[in-house]
């Protein structure tokens, strides 16, 4: 892993900046001079992916997978960019019959992106969606950690999901997972990795859960880049159960998304807009439906990027909760510092100045 340091020289502009050695280039060059930084970006993602035997780029010769923004064309016997869907006799299917995942229970209220606004943390909403008048002490969340992702984030805070992708294990069927919901389970949260590459499994599990329980909220935490066909089912499940969809809006600028996450963010932003419309169409249930979050990656995702994202969210609905997440050095970016207090404050101010009414700093204990 990289040695921790505060600043270094950008290999393109030569300026002393907060630059991660994994990329070797600064934020400004990514935004202003993409052709010059692209080779460094591709190399950084190749390094990060080859260790886990993941395809270095979305494959482009074979059957079409339309599951997510990457739109891989996967040849027989190959896997897509997510490493979990594979080409099989002219189709693209999941590599396993169940899904690759780990699960555990979290006591409520838990360290969830939406906990500051959802029924589990606040008791908001009617008793239709909430087990108590205040925070749901005595209840638990079933946390479902999918072992694959269709993004390739160099700052990944849950990077170890890649070990599951590589091993294609453990595999859990929808029925077995749904059976983990007991009378003390107030919510199920599908995250990872990301639910997108195995989202049919999350949908099937949710349907089984909702058939057997009338008071379990279904929530998703995602990069939001799945096919709209699946997003629409996820939205129905979350809305009907009183749960929420938490979108990780990692970047505003598409070049920044390619640099940090290896992929395009346009499906994410369009899907977020679609969910805001969906929520407006269906009306207020008294509990939040759509929640946004952004990880504050020092040197890359700072005040300016947050202001753009917050402006976008506010243009849809100023009441959408927005959680800014303090950064912990991880995966390929262990050399970046933690989010500083000054940076956190500036980002919070920028989000509020954009007009958002419900903004908070998550993982505040990480601010250094
Ligand atoms: S889910 Fe996305 S990343 Fe995986 S094979 Fe399909 S298009 Fe590619
Ligand atoms: S999973 Fe949903 S209901 Fe449970 S704590 Fe998180 S946002 Fe709240």
pLDDT in tens, 218-277: 999 999 999 999 999 999 999 999 999 999 999 999 999 999 999 999 999 999 999 999
| Distance in Å, CA 120 to ligand 2 centroid | 6
Rounded CA-CA distance 142/119 in Å is 15
Confidence bin at 96 (pLDDT 50/70/90) = confident
Q: Mutation test of ligand 1: which of 64, 80, 95 has the most ligand atoms closer than 8 Å to its C-beta?
A: 80
Rounded CA-CA distance 158/143 in Å is 14
| Distance in Å, CA 346 to ligand 2 centroid | 27
Three-class secondary structure assignment of the chain: CCCCCCCEECCCCCCEECCCCCCCCCHHHHHHCHHHHHHHHHHHHHHHHHCCCCCCCCCECCEECCCECCCCEECECCECCCCCEEEECCEEEECCCCEEEEEEEEECCCCCCCCCCCHHHHCCCCCCCCCCCCCCCCCEEEEEEECCCCCCCCCCCCCCHHHHHHHCCCEECHHHHHCCCCCCEEEEEEEECCCHHHHHHHHHHHHHHHHHCCCCEEEEEECCCECHHHHHHHHHHHHHHCCCEEEECCCCCHHHHHHHHCCCCHHHHHHHHHHHHHHHHHCCCCCCCEEEEEECCCCCCCHHHHHHHHHHHHHHCCCCCEEEECCCCCHHHCCCCCCCHHHHHHHHHHHHHCCCCCEEEECHHHCC
Q: Mutation test of ligand 2: which of 125, 135, 187 has the most ligand atoms closer than 8 Å to its C-beta?
A: 187
| C-alpha separations of 1 from 26, 46, 315 in Å | 20, 16, 41
For residue 5, is pLDDT > 50?
no
Rounded CA-CA distance 272/291 in Å is 10
Looking at the chain, the whole-number percentage of residues with pLDDT higher than 90 is 92
The atom number, within ligand 1, closest to the CA of 196 reads 1
State the ligand closest to the CA atom of 165.
1
Q: Whose CA is nearest to atom 7 of ligand 2?
A: 114
Confidence bin at 368 (pLDDT 50/70/90) = confident
Specify whether the CB–CB gap between 325 and 293 falls below 8 A.
yes
For residue 123, is pLDDT > 90?
no
For residue 362, is pLDDT > 50?
yes
State the ligand closest to the CA atom of 91.
1
The atom number, within ligand 1, closest to the CA of 66 reads 7
| Distance in Å, CA 219 to ligand 2 centroid | 6
State the ligand closest to the CA atom of 123.
2
Rounded CA-CA distance 184/140 in Å is 6
Q: Whose CA is nearest to atom 6 of ligand 2?
A: 112
**Residues in the ligand 1 pocket, defined by CB under 6 Å:** 58, 65, 67-68, 70-72, 74, 80-82, 85, 92, 150, 197
Q: Whose CA is nearest to atom 1 of ligand 1?
A: 197
The atom number, within ligand 2, closest to the CA of 110 reads 5
Least confident span in 123-132, 139-148, 185-194, 297-306: 123-132
Q: Given this model, what pLDDT does residue 186 score? A: 96
Domain-wise residue ranges, the chain: 99-366
**Residues in the ligand 2 pocket, defined by CB under 6 Å:** 110, 112, 114-115, 118-120, 141, 187, 189, 217, 219, 243-244
Q: Given this model, what pLDDT does residue 31 score? A: 98
| C-alpha separations of 272 from 158, 223, 242, 285, 306 in Å | 22, 10, 18, 19, 16
pTM across the whole model: 0.96
Rounded to an integer, what is the distance from CA 214 to the centroid of its chain?
27
Which residues, 6 or more positions from 161, have their beta carbon under 8 angstroms from its beta carbon? 145, 146, 147, 148, 149, 192, 193
The topology (CATH level 3) of 99-366 is: TIM Barrel (3.20.20)
Q: Whose CA is nearest to atom 4 of ligand 1?
A: 82
Q: Given this model, what pLDDT does residue 127 score? A: 77
Rounded CA-CA distance 310/292 in Å is 9
| Distance in Å, CA 123 to ligand 1 centroid | 37
């Amino acid at each position: 892993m990289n040695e921790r340091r505060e600043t270094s020289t950008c290999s393109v502009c030569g300026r002393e900046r907060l630059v991660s050695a994994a990329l070797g280039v600064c934020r400004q060059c990514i935004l202003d001079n993409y052709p010059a930084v692209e080779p460094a970006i591709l190399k950084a993602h190749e390094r990060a992916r080859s260790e886990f035997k993941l395809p270095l780029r979305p494959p482009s010769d074979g059957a079409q997978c339309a599951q997510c923004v990457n739109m891989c064309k996967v040849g027989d016997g190959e896997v897509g960019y997510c490493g979990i869907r594979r080409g099989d006799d002219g189709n693209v299917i999941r590599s396993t019959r169940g899904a690759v995942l780990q699960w555990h229970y979290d006591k409520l209220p838990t360290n969830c992106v939406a906990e500051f606004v959802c029924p589990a943390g606040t008791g908001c909403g009617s008793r239709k969606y909430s087990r108590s008048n205040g925070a749901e002490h005595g209840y638990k969340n079933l946390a479902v950690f999918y072992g694959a992702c269709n993004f390739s984030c160099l700052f990944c805070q849950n990077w170890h999901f890649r070990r599951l992708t590589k091993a294609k294990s453990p595999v859990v069927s929808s029925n077995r997972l749904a059976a983990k919901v007991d009378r003390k389970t107030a919510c199920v949260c599908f995250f990872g990795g990301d639910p997108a590459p195995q989202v049919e499994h999350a949908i099937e599990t949710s349907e089984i859960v909702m058939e057997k329980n009338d008071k379990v909220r279904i929530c998703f935490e995602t990069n939001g880049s799945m096919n709209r066909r699946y997003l629409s089912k996820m939205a129905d499940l979350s809305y009907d159960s009183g749960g929420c969809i938490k979108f990780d809006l990692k970047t505003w600028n598409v070049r920044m998304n390619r640099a940090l996450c290896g992929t395009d963010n346009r499906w994410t932003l369009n899907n977020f807009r679609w969910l805001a419309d969906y929520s407006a169409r269906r009306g207020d249930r008294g509990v939040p439906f759509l929640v946004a979050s952004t990880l504050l990656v020092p040197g890359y995702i700072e005040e300016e990027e947050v202001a753009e994202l917050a402006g976008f969210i506010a243009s849809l609905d100023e009441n959408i909760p927005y959680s800014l997440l303090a950064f912990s050095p991880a995966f390929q970016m262990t050399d970046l510092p933690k989010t500083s207090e000054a940076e956190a404050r500036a980002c919070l101010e920028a989000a509020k100045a954009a007009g958002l009414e419900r903004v908070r700093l998550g993982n505040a204990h990480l601010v250094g």
